[in-house]
Structure 1
Amino acid sequence: MSRDYANRKPKSSGKGSRSSRASKKKPTNRFPIIPWLLVIGLVTGFGYFLWAINGSSGNGESSVKPKTTTAQPETKVTPAPKKDPNALPPKPQEEWTYLEELENKKVEVDVPNSGVVSSGLYQMQCGSFRKESQANEMKARIAFMGMEAMVKRSEGSNGVWYRVVLGPFESKREGERNRHKMQNGGINTCKIWLWN
């Protein structure tokens, strides 16, 4: 058996038959309603938005003028002078009364009269010892600080004491100044009294 392939009609494939069927269908002329309604709605909404913001402006004035029923004479309004943006605000008024009360207030201080008349001379005692050698030792420490001290012997009901004394100073302030020097040198026991 011999087959004649030359005179035979070619078979059409499945893909080719579908495409030929689709091409044979009539084209439909449907109008796409949903996309067009969406576009019309968006354009209308945008137009309404523009119309709504048209009446408002940056300084709060409306472009729409209200209708007046009665004719009123127009009055010229003079614009207020422009304020300097760098100008300071006016000084506020004070509401306090204590300032006036303090200016008129008088303070009275009672100073008790102790009957002691100051000679004006002060002394500074930095130590009091039973042994003279201890007093001389402190006197030497004070000499190394650049000041001159004296050792005074005093007798009382408690016995004999040797006091290390600096001075006399003309004012208590001068004595305080020397006491600070002693504190810087490590001697913190100094007291300032009137010279006697």
Structure 2
Amino acid sequence: MTKDYAKKRKTARKSNKRSPRQNSSSRKPLSPILVFVGGVLITLFAVFLWVLVKKPEIIKEVIPVKEQAEKVETKESTAAESTETESSEPKFTYHETLTNKEIKVDSTRVTTTDSNKTYIMQCGAFRKQDDAESMKVEMAFIGFQANVEEKDGWYRVRLGPYNSKRAAESDRHKLQDNNYQDCRIW
């Protein structure tokens, strides 16, 4: 019986022309980044365990801080409970601190302003008077009264005079909102 079995097996091997099976459970190799991160985590855990075993005083320094914080919280809660029994209103409020705050300002310091100084804003300079006049009309529609002055063959569209630079800047910002970007203050 064993001879018959051996013959069948030999003939079965010869007749089997299939290729060997691929193992479906074969895995892709792990990425190097994953291996590196895993190694770092394992190292950190090992260092933590080593610190616990070899240097317990470091851990004791950290743990009492938490215990002290808990003790302070319990002391504060007992103190708060005792003050609540004495009076229902808190003794310190942010609003009272601000309203009772006094600020001293040196009033002897005087800011010097030159009231004689005036500012002029120029928004355009043209070779043709018609171009300058059309810009003046466009500014009139916005609400500004411009002047056209001629000097050396140039027709300049100007606004002003302004007593302060702040007033001139304010008008310049209004003009910028209406696409007059090239106005300059002198």
TM range (shorter): 0.3 to 0.5
Bigger-Rg structure (1/2): 1
TM-score by length of 2: 0.40
TM-score by length of 1: 0.38
